[in-house]
Structure formats: structure tokens, C-alpha cells
């Protein structure tokens, strides 16, 4: 890590990055945001904007159940229960009944209520309340960063492998099935990937903000993109920019990093709407 720190000192000769914890936070953001952006593009295309929100809220329920069962590894609890909740939500959506947005809303509301009920009843709510807003500044040492790097590389590889099938199943499931693509298997694989990324990011981003960081850059990129490649590229650029800008803004102001990052992404979305409108006016002229 010292070698990386020295390189960063040369590339970033700014007062704000003089401290090691700021270097760790910047590296974490650079490792977190690209994969969130890529998964966000597919979540937007598949109209799953609130799916990650339901997963984030369900994380509290999973954490509460894990605590009751005596598990101490928070990350493992979040990942395992996140996958289970993702599969359960998808299964219920596929069986019909209520609309998918209704099912997701039910899981979101019930998940956070159950988690708060269990943790507050056990007297351990304050111990885990930091999960609501997260704090990327708490990342310390190389072990967490290595795991984030592994997650980024593995996620990008899986996203690239599944991309064409995911896109086709999102646009025309019947056509995808006629071409031998197992639609349900692809859908389950995608929601599991999203669940793992969301649960591993929650500790640094927060339950209340994870959905915004996943969706806003992808939504902003969609406004100004003409094809799928541009959508992915712009989404990554907007997500990374929002992460770095939010970090640089929040620390001097002593505000929440996650909130600042999300507000930067929201500003990018507003700008993208303006650009899209100007482009339409230009084409109509």
C-alpha cells in the first residue's frame, strides 16, 4: 500500500489527500462506482429501479435475523441474506399476482421494519445504525480494498459475459427464449450479482443511499446516450465523477460523503435532462 500511496502523492499533490484515510476512501470510491454504474444500466433497462432499494432495506432484516442466530460476521450475513431476498423477490414477481413494483415495495417496507424491530428489541440498534448512511471514510488497510478490487474485476467479467443475454431478455423475453436463452436463469444470475454488489457496498454507501447511487448515474447516462456502449461508458464516467466530487466536497464541509455523492449524481441527472432537451431542439430545428 505504501507504494500506491507514494504514487497517489505524486499524482494528487493536494492537501485533502495528504492523509492515508483519504487515499483509502478515494481508492474505495474508484473501485465501487464503476461496477455500480454498469449494473445500474441494466437495472434501468430492465425497469428494476427500486429493486436495489428493496434489497438495501431488506439488509436490516437479514442483519437482525443473523444477529438472532448468533452470527458475528456482518459482511457474510448481508451477502447471504441479500442473495436469499433477491431470489425470493424475483421468484414472487415471476409467479404473478401483484405487480412487481408492489411486491418490491412490500419487501422494502417489511424488510426495514423487521430489521429495526429485531435490532431495537435486542438493544443493538445503535451498534448497526451506521449501516443506514454508511461511511466510506471508515475503510482502512489493504484487506478491504483488495476485496473491493476482486469484486470489481469479477463483477465486470460476469457483466460482460451475461450482457447480450441480459439485454435481449430485457427487450424481448420471448425472442430470447426462442433462441435458446434460459430467461429465468439469466434473471436469477443478474439479481444475485446485484445483491452481492449492493450488500458489499452498503457498509460504505448506506442503506438509504445505495439505490440512488446505483440508479442515478445510469439514468443520467441514458438521457444523453445513443447506443448501449455510450450508455455504459457515460454511466461509469458519471458515477466515478460523482464519487470523487462528493468525497472532495463533503470532507472540507464535514458532511456525509454518501449524501454528497448522491447529490452530485442528482445534479448530473439534471444536467443530462437539459442536454437531452437541447439536443432534441437542435434536431427539430
Tens digit of each residue's pLDDT, the chain (285 residues): 677 777 777 777 777 778 777 888 888 889 888 988 998 888 888 777 777 778 877 777 888 888 778 777 777 888 888 888 888 888 887 776 666 777 778 877 888 788 778 877 656 666 666 677 677 777 776 777 888 888 889 888 888 888 888 888 877 777 777 877 887 888 888 888 888 888 888 877 777 678 788 889 999 999 999 888 899 999 999 999 999 998 888 878 888 888 888 899 999 999 999 998 887 877 766
3-state secondary structure of 73: coil
Looking at the domain assignment, is residue 120 inside a domain?
A: yes
Domain count, the chain: 1
CB 190 within 8 A of CB 166: yes
Looking at the domain assignment, is residue 257 inside a domain?
A: no
Q: Where are the alpha helices (DSSP H) in the chain?
A: 2-11, 20-45, 51-68, 74-94, 100-121, 125-128, 141-171, 173-178, 183-205, 210-224, 228-253, 257-284
Q: Is the dihedral of CA 173, 178, 181, 182 positive or negative?
A: positive
All three cell numbers of 264, joined, read: 452530485
Looking at the domain assignment, is residue 215 inside a domain?
A: no
3-state secondary structure of 14: coil
pTM: 0.85
CATH number for 116: 1.10.3470.10
Looking at the domain assignment, is residue 218 inside a domain?
A: no
All three cell numbers of 147, joined, read: 476485496
Looking at the domain assignment, is residue 252 inside a domain?
A: no
What is the Cα–Cα distance from 259 to 104, expressed in whole angstroms?
A: 24
All three cell numbers of 117, joined, read: 424491530
Looking at the domain assignment, is residue 200 inside a domain?
A: yes
Q: What is the DSSP string of 209-222?
A: THHHHHHHHHHHHH
Looking at the domain assignment, is residue 214 inside a domain?
A: no
What is the Cα–Cα distance from 195 to 48, expressed in whole angstroms?
A: 12
Closest CA to 62 of 119, 23, 101: 119
All three cell numbers of 175, joined, read: 425472442
All three cell numbers of 234, joined, read: 457515460
Looking at the domain assignment, is residue 197 inside a domain?
A: yes
Q: Which residues of 39-75 are buried (b: 16+ CB within 10 A; e: fewer)?
A: bbbbbbbbebbbbbbbbbbbbbbbbbbbbeeeeeebe
Domain limits for position 172: 2-208
Place of cell 474508484: 30
What is the Cα–Cα distance from 37 to 42, expressed in whole angstroms?
A: 9
Amino acid at each position: 500500500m505504501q507504494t500506491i500511496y507514494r504514487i497517489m502523492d505524486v499524482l494528487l499533490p493536494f492537501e485533502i489527500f495528504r492523509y492515508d484515510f483519504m487515499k483509502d476512501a478515494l481508492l474505495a470510491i474508484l473501485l465501487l462506482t464503476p461496477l455500480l454504474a454498469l449494473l445500474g444500466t441494466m437495472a434501468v433497462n430492465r425497469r428494476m429501479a427500486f429493486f436495489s432499494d428493496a434489497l438495501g432495506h431488506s439488509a436490516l432484516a437479514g442483519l437482525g435475523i443473523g444477529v438472532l442466530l448468533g452470527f458475528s460476521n456482518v459482511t457474510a450475513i448481508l451477502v447471504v441474506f441479500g442473495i436469499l431476498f433477491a431470489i425470493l423477490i424475483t421468484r414472487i414477481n415471476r409467479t404473478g399476482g401483484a405487480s412487481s413494483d408492489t411486491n418490491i415495495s412490500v419487501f422494502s417496507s417489511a424488510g426495514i421494519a423487521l430489521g429495526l424491530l429485531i435490532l431495537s428489541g435486542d438493544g443493538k440498534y445503535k451498534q448497526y445504525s451506521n449501516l443506514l448512511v454508511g461511511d466510506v471514510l471508515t475503510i482502512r488497510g489493504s484487506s478491504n480494498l483488495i476485496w473491493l478490487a476482486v469484486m470489481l474485476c469479477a463483477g465486470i467479467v460476469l457483466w460482460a459475459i451475461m450482457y447480450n443475454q441480459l439485454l435481449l431478455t430485457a427487450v424481448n423475453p420471448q425472442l430470447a427464449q426462442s433462441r435458446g436463452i434460459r430467461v429465468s436463469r439469466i434473471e436469477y444470475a443478474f439479481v444475485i450479482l446485484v445483491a452481492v454488489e449492493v450488500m458489499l457496498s452498503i457498509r460504505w454507501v448506506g442503506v438509504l443511499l445505495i439505490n440512488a447511487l446505483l440508479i442515478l448515474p445510469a439514468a443520467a447516462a441514458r438521457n444523453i446516450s445513443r447506443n448501449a456502449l455510450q450508455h455504459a461508458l457515460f454511466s461509469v464516467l458519471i458515477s466515478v465523477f460523482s464519487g470523487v466530487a462528493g468525497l472532495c466536497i463533503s470532507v472540507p464541509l464535514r458532511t456525509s460523503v454518501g449524501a454528497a455523492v448522491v447529490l452530485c449524481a442528482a445534479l448530473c441527472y439534471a444536467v443530462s435532462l437539459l442536454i437531452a432537451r437541447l439536443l432534441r431542439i437542435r434536431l427539430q430545428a
